[in-house]
Structure 1
Amino acid sequence: MLGRGALLAALAGLLLAPWYGLENGVEDLASWPAGVAAPLVALLLGGDRWWLWPVVGLVALPVPALLAGRAPGRLLAWCGLAIMALVFAQGYAIGLHGAALPLLGTLPPQAALGWGGSLVVGGGIGLLAAGFAAQGRFGGDAFIALLVTGSAGLLLLFVFVPLATILAAAVLDEGHFAPGALIRRLSAPEAWSLACLSTHQGCGVVWNTTLLASLTATLSTLIGLAFALLSTRGQVRAQPAFRAMTILPLITPPFVVSLALIVLFGRTGLLTTALWDWFDIPRSRWIYGLPGVLLAQVLAQAPIAFVLLEGAVRAIGPSLEEAASTMGARRFTVFRTVTWPLLRPALAACLLLAFVESLADFGNPLVLGGDFDVLSTRIFFAIAGARNDPGRAAALALLLLALTFGAFALQALWLGRRKYTTVTGKGDSGVAAPLPRGLKFACGAVAWPWMIFTAAVYGIILVGGFVRDIGRGDMSFTWRHFLTGFEVEWLDGPAFRGSAWDSLFTTIEVAAISAPLTAGLGILLAWLLARQAFPGRRTLEFMTMLSFAIPGTVVGVSYIMAFNLPPVELTGTMLILVICFVFRNLPVGVRGGIAALAQIDKSLDEASATMGGSALQTLRRVVLPLLRPAIVAALAFSFVHAMTAVSAVIFLVSARHNLATVYIVGRVEAGEMALAIAYSTVLIVVMLVVVLGIEKLVGRAQIGRRVVGA
């Protein structure tokens, strides 16, 4: 069944669909079946593209056996693999300027693959999966075989190929292989200079980036820990305020906090002006540089650390602490010897996440960096600046990637092979140990001032769009900024006149398309990895997580290098934005699905199989209904991140397909701060509605433990 369906898809690609991409979209279909919309068979019969005849032969080879119903599995698998290899090999070998290799001679140029080529490649994947199933692999289940081969093909194309492309670009100099060029780029003074130690010049971007990420990780983790300890062990009555602080960074574009900091602490900022008027403290530009970027990143990362650490503290079995107290240990000794060691995995996760997010952050260093350069901004200006140097950008991206993998390695080294299990199958109804008095005071001294400061920053964001010019202290009320961005007139229907409508509609459209695809593919991959045993499972899992380890700036550069030319040309289209979001956010859906599946007994799957249910029926009728919370959570995360991302997609947007965050960055660069804040307010409201709706729909897990006084 799968083999015949794959064959039909491949035949449709050969006989009906345009083989090459359509430059003007559906308008070019008017020339079908000739011209730019010609299918492959028409091109071949016209005497053109003779090198594609083998593709037709490979598609036709298994036809007799499939029609007879006795196609050998090995034949199907080899035909499918050869079709995919040939289509991509000829696409890379013959491009827009003809043959890329001198030994191929003079050949006419060809454009990127279109729907015809995509259908043939899809047919090849189907034939490969059918061949594997016919040979008894994947338990002989064609559905499992198709999921594995299809997802592996997508991950290879949209994760591995871009990464390989940026690696290759780093060793090329004007199109020629030049290892020396890579060494020069990697060892350039702009990366490793230590001039800041002896002169007033800045240090290299590697040192700047590492220092910023280390400080951000340390400070955000400590602040998050203070909030988590107060929330769980401090008997405070500020849970709604704590919860609001965790939601705000998730629904705020990553650089909007920088705008609020400029309004507060810039040379004409509110606090700067007040200090000058009241205390004669001179105005300065201290906010532009390391202090400002660090402050903005900690504001964004501390709430996320709080979420992770609060859950970890709640999961610690109170019986362990009660046992230490029974043995005569004081409160601080219990915390130091029992609670703190058991928090090590969560602390390591917070440090790693904040470090990686700081490396990937682009918006805050762009707005507040001043003379303090980091790798993400240098990579951007290497591509988008006056001197377009992809090789330099690729080399800097490699350094950024090396820092990321180094952070993963240090986390694994710190945790080692110790076990940190605290939740077992035994009952655990003890009372959690209260915080030592001194530690509670220290946590409060950190948490409450930070809470007030956070409220002031987000208050600026809320108010800034409704006043004439908050940056210069003109606080008179106005709707002007919202009308500039979101004006609507009624002319025989609504007419969206505001300058921000196009980017908002595009952002919502891209997020609405990519979120279900991310959640669906993530849950399917989680089910494969958690419930199915097949060769290469560990490799597939590694490939799904690889995109999480790659900073967004590197992802954007790799996509524009990999998909700017045939055979897969996607730059300037909405499709590349959707694909980028899907594979960028995919690891969250996969890990969430695996965690949810760990709570579902495998005996349910086995019972379905015993009753004669296929893998597809088991997935549809048993597993997916039980995974509803994980699916909804993946949808929410994917939608929110697609609405607020900037580091990867700033390289991929076009005049036709602009996004909200890129529009806001443009307004900041143009000095239109109030309009940027107004647009950010609109985005925050949209995100708040989505996040609160998801939280209301899913709810929160409750652990049945006694509380003090119960």
Structure 2
Amino acid sequence: MFQSIGINLPPIYGPLGIVLADTLQYYPFISLMTAGALMTIDRSLEEASENLGARSIKTFFSVTLPLVLPSVTGGALIVFMMSLSNFGTPMIIGGNYLVLPTLAYNLYTSEISQTPGMASTVSIILMLCASVVIVLQQWVSSRRKYASMLVNRPVIKQIKGIKSVLAHILCYGIVFFSTLPLAVIVYFSFRKTSGPVFKPGFSLDSYRQIFFDVPKTVTNSFLYSITAVLLIAFVGTLLGFVIARKRNAAVRILDPLLMIPYMVPGTVLGIGFIVAFNKPPIILTGTAAIIILTYFIRRLPYSVRSAASILKQIDPALEEAGINLGSPPGRTFRTITLPLMQGGIISGAIMSWVTSMNELSASILLYVGKTMTMPIKIYISVADGYFGTASAMSTILLFVTGIAMFIVNKYFNRGSETFIAA
């Protein structure tokens, strides 16, 4: 289309396509966590800066940005880890350009009958890269105190004139380029097909094939991801509280340990699960339990990081006041801390659920016929050239994810805040 009007774009296959796809896929994780943090800032701090004569830009960089820095760096860390261990995008559009996860996968499959030594070496390199970034993020977050009393919540201001126009152009431009590939997928999901070949016209053949031929695949995706998220939300909240509130050697060790699932690609984690749970006394290979366990292990850091980031903005004096008034620590946590953490818990749970629904890199090694999920079926369909079926399944994933986020946003934010800040 662009070539017809004289515009030659570089090919999407290769490193440029990987970077572009990762950027459009992962930027919402930082924006969601940052939005939640922005809605918990004590606006009296910004008002004090403006009363002292600081302009809005100066207030933003001197007051607002430092207060949300834990959430920004926490989100950036999650995005870095996801990009570092991403398997599906490089495998599909990377062409002959290998990244560490796809290299580990290729090395393992080529050494399947031998000891996968080279795949383990690549995994160690990934772990070293991730460890450096984790230490850097912890150093940046620990330089200042970010907590406030949360007495005066921020008030949304309406911008007017040229600022409003530029803001709308920027925001809608980003959303347009992010959703354009998704619109193409939805379009082709309704195209008439004959096997792997698209024909003129539209039909529901691709959807009919999904619900009549592989309904178990759709059910598995929902069942496994929801079960995992319930466990993630509960355990992640408790661990986030420990990391944010406790200062000892054990916690300093626990924090980086929780990020280990991001240090290794999902393919390597899948290999480890096969080796660990393929012989007595615990045999989980070929069962739904091993896939749910994979979701839980890989996505737990979302909940932990999100809860810990919010807790760093909640002054411990609020909890101490409750305890000093005679409330037991458990009751203080339930009645004071937990409601204030609600935004972080919800955002972490939603990110965990969305990414669990789309998990591919580990589950592609762990599934059997009865435990196949939608991402696995999509990957197989693309590899076999059945883009109609792949587009239809991708559309289902897009639809249920969008509906879930819309319901949470509508229910918790009452039309005025982002859903993660409710």
User: What TM-score bracket applies, with the shorter chain setting the length?
Assistant: 0.7 to 0.9
1:275 paired to 2:275:
no
Contact 1:356 1:551 in 2 (8 A): no
Residue 464 of structure 1 aligns with which residue? 188
Aligned residue runs from structure 1 range 280-359, under 5 A: 286-314=11-39, 332=57, 344-359=69-84
1:514 aligns with one of 221, 228, 232: 228
8 Å Cα contact 1:632-1:698 kept in structure 2: no
Question: Does 1:482 find its partner at 2:207?
Answer: yes
% of aligned pairs identical? 26
- Aligned counterpart, 1:377: 102
Q: Report deviation, 1:683.
A: 2.1
Q: 1:566, CA displacement in angstroms?
A: 4.2
Q: Does 1:502 align with 2:216?
A: yes
Tell whether the 8 Å contact from 2:268 to 2:362 is kept in structure 1 after alignment. Answer: yes
Within 1, Cα distance between the matches of 2:35 and 2:55?
23
Separation in 1, partners of 2:188, 2:59: 47
Equivalent pair of 2:32/2:347 in contact (CA under 8 Å): no
TM-score for the superposition, normalised by structure 1? 0.49
Distance 2:251 2:2 in 1: 61
CA contact (8 A) 1:365 1:377 kept: yes
Q: Deviations over 1:265-319 (max 9, x none)?
A: xxxxxxxxx234x33667x871100111111111112222222333445555555
How many Å separate the matches in 2 of 1:428 and 1:516?
Answer: 29
The one-letter amino acid paired with 1:364 is T
Number of residue equivalences? 409
Q: How many angstroms apart in 2 are the aligned matches of 1:526 and 1:368? A: 36
Distance 2:59 2:82 in 1: 33
Deviation at 1:590, TM superposition (A): 4.1
| Counterpart check, 1:393 vs 2:107 | no
Instruction: Give the deviation of 1:633 after TM superposition.
Output: 5.9
Q: Which has the higher contact order (CA 8 A, sep 6+)?
A: 2
Q: Could you tell me how far 1:445 is from its partner in structure 2?
A: 5.8
Deviation at 1:661, TM superposition (A): 0.7
Which residue of 1 is the match for residue 420 of structure 2? none
Find the partner of 2:392 among 678, 687, 692. 678
What is the CA–CA distance in structure 1 between the aligned matches of 2:33 and 2:198, rounded to whole Å? Answer: 38
Q: Tell me by how many angstroms 1:375 deviates.
A: 0.6
In the TM superposition, residue 660 of structure 1 has moved relative to its aligned partner by 1.3
Note closer, same or farther for the CA distance 1:700–1:571 as it changes in structure 2 (3 Å cut): farther
Taking the aligned partners of 1:325 and 1:608, their CA distance within structure 2 comes to 38
Deviation, structure 1 residue 502: 2.5
- Please state if 1:601 is matched with 2:319: yes
Q: CA deviation at 1:418?
A: 3.1
- TM alignment of 1:60-459, pairs within 5 A: 274-276=1-3, 278-279=4-5, 286-314=11-39, 332=57, 344-385=69-110, 390-414=116-140, 417-420=143-146, 423-424=148-149, 446-459=170-183
Structure 2 gaps, min length 5: 418-422
State the Cα deviation string for residues 195-229 of structure 1 (Å, max 9, x = none): xxxxxxxxxxxxxxxxxxxxxxxxxxxxxxxxxxx
Q: Cα RMSD over matched residues?
A: 4.4
The answer to whether the Cα contact below 8 Å between 2:221 and 2:357 also exists between their aligned partners in 1 is: yes
- The answer to whether the Cα contact below 8 Å between 1:318 and 1:433 also exists between their aligned partners in 2 is no
3-state SS, counterpart of residue 476 of structure 1: strand
Task: State how far apart, in whole Å, the 1-side matches of 2:30 and 2:245 are.
Answer: 31
In the superposition, the TM-score normalised over structure 2's length comes to: 0.77
Distance 1:540 1:690, change over 3 A: same
| Aligned mates of 2:407, 2:158 — CA distance in 1 | 34
In 1, the alpha carbon distance for the partners of 2:410 and 2:125 equals: 42
Equivalent residue number for residue 72 of structure 1:
none
SS in 2 for 1:372: coil
Counterpart residue type for residue 411 of structure 1: Q
Q: What is the CA distance between 1:579 and its match in structure 2?
A: 1.5
Residues 41 and 150 in structure 2, CA contact (< 8 A), matched pair in contact too: no
Q: Within 2, Cα distance between the matches of 1:420 and 1:628?
A: 15
Structure 1 residues 607 and 585: CA distance shift in structure 2, 3 A: farther
Structure-2 separation of matches of 1:424 and 1:410? 27
The CA deviation at 1:601 is: 3.2
Q: Distance in 2 between matches of 1:302 and 1:478?
A: 34
Q: CA, structure 1 residues 586+305, in 2 after alignment: closer, same or farther (shift >3 Å)? A: closer
- Contact 2:88/2:360, CA 8 A, preserved across alignment: yes
- Give 1:365 shift: 0.7
Asked if the contact 1:375/1:396 (under 8 Å) is kept, the reply is yes
Change beyond 3 A, Cα 1:685–1:275: closer
Selected match of 1:646 from 350, 360, 367: 360
Q: Which residue of 2 aligns with 1:254?
A: none
CA contact (8 A) 1:519 1:635 kept: yes
Compute the displacement of 1:343 (Å).
Answer: 5.6
1: distance between equivalents of 2:205 and 2:268?
38
Residue 352 of structure 1: how far off its partner (Å)? 2.5
Name the amino acid aligned to 1:658.
Answer: M
Q: Could you say if the C-alpha distance between residues 544 and 297 of structure 1 is closer, same or farther in structure 2, counting changes exceeding 3 Å?
A: closer
Distance, in Å, in 1 between the alignment partners of 2:416 and 2:328 is 33
Structure 1: state its 5+ residue gaps. 1-273, 488-497, 704-710
Aligned amino acid, residue 466 of structure 1: F
Other structure's SS at 2:201 match: strand
Superimposed CA distance per residue, residues 418-438 of structure 1 (whole angstroms, 9 cap, x where no aligned partner): 3445x4466578897979978
Contact 1:604/1:622 (8 A) holds in 2: no
Equivalent pair of 2:269/2:362 in contact (CA under 8 Å): yes
**1:365 corresponds to which letter in structure 2?**
P
Q: Distance in 1 between matches of 2:373 and 2:95?
A: 25
- Which structure has the larger Rg over C-alpha atoms? 1
1:156-188 CA deviation, whole Å, 9 max, x = no partner? xxxxxxxxxxxxxxxxxxxxxxxxxxxxxxxxx
Q: Distance in 2 between matches of 1:534 and 1:296?
A: 40
How far apart are the structure 2 equivalents of 1:472 and 1:285?
A: 26
Give the distance between the partners of 1:449 and 1:697, measured in 2 at CA: 27
Aligned counterpart for 2:285 among listed residues 563, 571, 578: 571
Q: 3-state DSSP class of the match of 1:601?
A: helix
Superposition deviation, residue 695 in structure 1: 3.8
Alpha-carbon distance between aligned partners in 1 of 2:146 and 2:333, rounded to the nearest angstrom: 35
Question: How far did residue 412 of structure 1 move?
Answer: 3.5
Work out whether residues 645 and 661 of structure 1, in 8 Å CA contact, stay in contact via their aligned partners in 2: yes
Q: 1:688 is aligned with what amino acid? A: G
Between the aligned partners of 2:54 and 2:250, the Cα distance in structure 1 is: 50
Instruction: Map Cα deviations across residues 129-152 of structure 1 (whole Å, 9 max, x no partner).
Output: xxxxxxxxxxxxxxxxxxxxxxxx
